[in-house]
Structure 1
Amino acid sequence: MSELNRISTDGNIFGIALNYKCLYGSLQAQFNEKPYVSEPKKPVLFIKTPNTRNTSGSPVVKKKSEILQAGPTIGVVIGKSTTRVSKSDAAAHIAGYVVVNELSLPEESYYRPAIKAKCQDGFCVVGTPVAASEVSDLSNLSLKVFVNGELKQEGTTANWIRTPEQIIEEISEYMPLNEGDIILTGTPLGRVDLNAGDEVRIEIDQLGSVTNTIQEEGN
C-alpha cells in the first residue's frame, strides 16, 4: 500500500479564518472599532460539519437567493493524534496536505464565522491528499481559482500569518487533534462569487486541483 493510500481524511474539519496578511490587513481598521475594539490574538476557528463534505466532480448546490463564494485553501491532514504539541514537534504529526474548496456565503463577522455561511450541504470540497514528504517549499505555494476556465483569484502561502506548525501548537493547547482531522489554513483576499452553471476549479501548486459545477436549488 502506498503512503498516499494510508492518509486518512475522514476526521473533523477545522478552519482558520484571517490567516492571510492581505485579508487581515484589509480588515485591521474594522477590528479596532466597536463592538470589539481589539484585534484577535489567537486563531479564529470555525468548523465544517460532516454534511459539508464534497468531492471533485460532484455538484455544489446554491440557494437562488444567496451569494456563494469559492474558498481556495490548503488542508493540513493530521497523521498522528496529539494534544499540547509544541511548534517544533508539530511537523511530525502532519501526514500530508490537500486541496480544499472551502465554499461559503459572504461573512458578516470574521470574529464569529456563521454556521449558516459555512456549513451548508456540499460546502467543503476535499481533494486527494499528498504526503508531506512530497511537498517542498510549503511557504511559497500558489493558490488559483478558475471560473469557466478564466483565472479569477490568485494567492500565495507566502502571505500566511501562521504556519501549519504554529496553528497545530495553538489549537492543541486546548483540544486534541486526531488522525484524519483536517485543518484549513485560510483563504486569501478576494473570494469569487459563483453563479448557477459555473464550473469552478481550485488549483494549488504540488497538491493538484478540485473541480465542481454550481447548481441552483430546485433545478
Structure 2
Amino acid sequence: MSELNKINTDGNIFGIALNYKCLYEKLKTQFNEKPYVNEPKKPVLFIKTPNTRNTSGKPVVKKKNEVLQAGPTIGVVIGKSTTRVSKSEAQAHIAGYVVVNELSLPEESYYRPAIKAKCQDGFCVISAPVEKSQVTDLSNLSLKVFVNGELKQEGTTANWIRTPEQIIEEISEYMPLNEGDIILTGTPYGRVDLQAGDEVCIEIDQLGSVTNTIQEEGN
C-alpha cells in the first residue's frame, strides 16, 4: 500500500479564518470598531461539517439567488493525535497535505464565521492527500483559482500569518486533534464569485488541484 493510501483524512475539518496578511490588513480597521473593538489574539476557528465533504469532479449545488465564492486553501492532515503539543514538535504530528476548495457564501463577520455560509452540502472539496515528505518549502507555495479556464485569483503561503505548526500548537492548547483531522490554513484576499455553469479549479503548487462544476438548485 502506498504512503498516500495510508493517510487518513476522515476526521473533523477545522478552518482558520484571517490567516493571510493580505486579508487581515484589509479588515484591520473594522476590528477596532464596534462590536469588536480589538484585533483577534488567537486563531479564529470555524468548522466544516461532514455534509460539506466533496471531491474533485463532482458538482457543487448553489441555491438560487445566493452568491457562492471559491476558497483556495491548503489542508493540513493530522497523522498522530495531539494534545498540548509545542510548535517545535508539531511537525511530527502532520501526515500530509490536501488541496481544498473551501466554498462559502459571503461572510458578514470574520470573527464569527456563520454555519449557513460555511456548512452547506458539498462546500468542502478535498483532494487526495500528498505525503509531507513530498512537499518542499511549504511557506512559499502558490494558490490559484481558475474559473472556466481563466485565472481569477492568486495567493501565496508566504502571506501566512501563522504556520501549520503554530496553528497546531495554539489549537491543541485547549482541544485535542486526532488522526485524520484536517486543518484548513485560510484563504487569501479576493474570493471569487461563482455562477451556475462555471467550472472552478483550485490549483496549488506541489499538491495538485480540484475541479468542480457549479449547478443551481432545481436544475
* TM band (smaller chain): over 0.9
User: In structure 2, what is the equivalent of residue 47 of structure 1?
Assistant: 47
The residue type equivalent to 1:27 in the other structure is L
User: In structure 2, what is the equivalent of residue 139 of structure 1?
Assistant: 139
User: In structure 2, what is the equivalent of residue 106 of structure 1?
Assistant: 106
Shift of 1:57: 0.1
User: In structure 2, what is the equivalent of residue 64 of structure 1?
Assistant: 64
Shift of 1:84: 0.3
User: In structure 2, what is the equivalent of residue 177 of structure 1?
Assistant: 177
User: In structure 1, what is the equivalent of residue 156 of structure 2?
Assistant: 156
Count of residue pairs brought into register by the alignment: 219
In the alignment, does 2:94 pair up with 1:94?
A: yes
Per-residue Cα deviation, 1:2-39 (whole angstroms, up to 9, x for no partner): 11110010000000000000000000000000111000
The residue type equivalent to 1:33 in the other structure is E
Shift of 1:94: 0.1
The residue type equivalent to 2:84 in the other structure is R
In the alignment, does 2:215 pair up with 1:215?
A: yes
The residue type equivalent to 2:82 in the other structure is T
The residue type equivalent to 2:126 in the other structure is V
The residue type equivalent to 2:147 in the other structure is V
User: In structure 1, what is the equivalent of residue 31 of structure 2?
Assistant: 31
Q: 2:95 and 2:177 mapped to 1: Cα distance?
A: 12
* 3-state DSSP of counterpart to 1:98: strand
Q: 1:185 and 1:142 mapped to 2: Cα distance?
A: 13
TM-score, normalised to structure 1, is 1.00
Per-residue Cα deviation, 1:98-131 (whole angstroms, up to 9, x for no partner): 0000000000000000000000000000001000
Q: Percent same amino acid at aligned positions? A: 90
Q: 2:71 and 2:203 mapped to 1: Cα distance?
A: 11
In the alignment, does 2:164 pair up with 1:196?
A: no
The residue type equivalent to 1:97 in the other structure is Y
- Runs of 5+ consecutive residues of structure 1 not aligned to the other structure: none
Q: 1:101 and 1:33 mapped to 2: Cα distance?
A: 31
Q: 2:175 and 2:35 mapped to 1: Cα distance?
A: 28
Q: 1:107 and 1:48 mapped to 2: Cα distance?
A: 14
Shift of 1:65: 1.4
Structure 1 residue ranges (4+ consecutive) displaced by more than 4 angstroms after TM superposition: none
